[in-house]
Amino acid sequence: MTAMVDTAIEELTPVVGVRKACAAVGVAQADWYRRHRQTPAPPKPQRPRRPQPRALTPDERAAVREVLNSPEHVDEAPATVYAKLLDEGTYLASERTMYRILADHGEVKERRRQATHPPAKKPELMADAPNRVWSWDIERHEVLLDRVVMKGHHRRLVAAGRLKLRAA
């Protein structure tokens, strides 16, 4: 059946055109072109990416990284370093470029020294005789509280719920 439709469209096309021939036979014009499409066009050749003419040279990038990792700036964010350098009258690179340079070397993280705390230990109570260890338990009575948590100055509802607590 398709061959019959195709021959009808091919015969009508020189007389009335593809659009009217497809409409007369009841075939969508897009279907006609899709079925009779020639081989796809060859892919575009991939050109090598040209370097940005205003990009920093490797020496300039090394100088920026050296400043960011210098003892006076090692614990500061690139935004702070950028502002301080501008106050001094020095412009090495944009703030974003400083972040990119640090990211290329895997150095985008908290730049301040972080305190490490030992893990908290649960207290272990040992009694070697009666009345040596005392503990307490608070008796609670159940009450219902309605709670609404609003976030700061935004006046937006962050959380709402009904809490089932025991009050003394």
Digit-coded pLDDT (tens) for 26-42: 999 988 888 887 777 77
Give the side-chain half-sphere CA count within 13 A for 74: 7
Between 130 and 114, residue with greater pLDDT: 130
- Residue 63 sits in the same domain as residue 31: no
Answer yes or no: are the C-beta atoms of 43 and 34 closer than 8 Å.
Answer: no
How many structural domains are present in the chain?
A: 2
Band (pLDDT 50/70/90 cuts) for residue 121 is confident
The answer to whether residue 156 sits within a structural domain is no
Q: Is the dihedral of CA 65, 71, 72, 73 positive or negative?
A: positive
Band (pLDDT 50/70/90 cuts) for residue 58 is very high
CA torsion 76-79-84-90 (nearest 10°) is 120
Range of the domain at 100: 58-104
- In this predicted structure, the answer to whether residue 114 has a pLDDT above a threshold of 80 is no
The answer to whether residue 155 sits within a structural domain is no
The answer to whether residue 42 sits within a structural domain is no
**What is the pairing mode between strands 156-167 and 141-151?**
antiparallel
Between 128 and 84, residue with greater pLDDT: 84
What does the block give as tokens for 104? Answer: 């290329």
The answer to whether residue 71 sits within a structural domain is yes
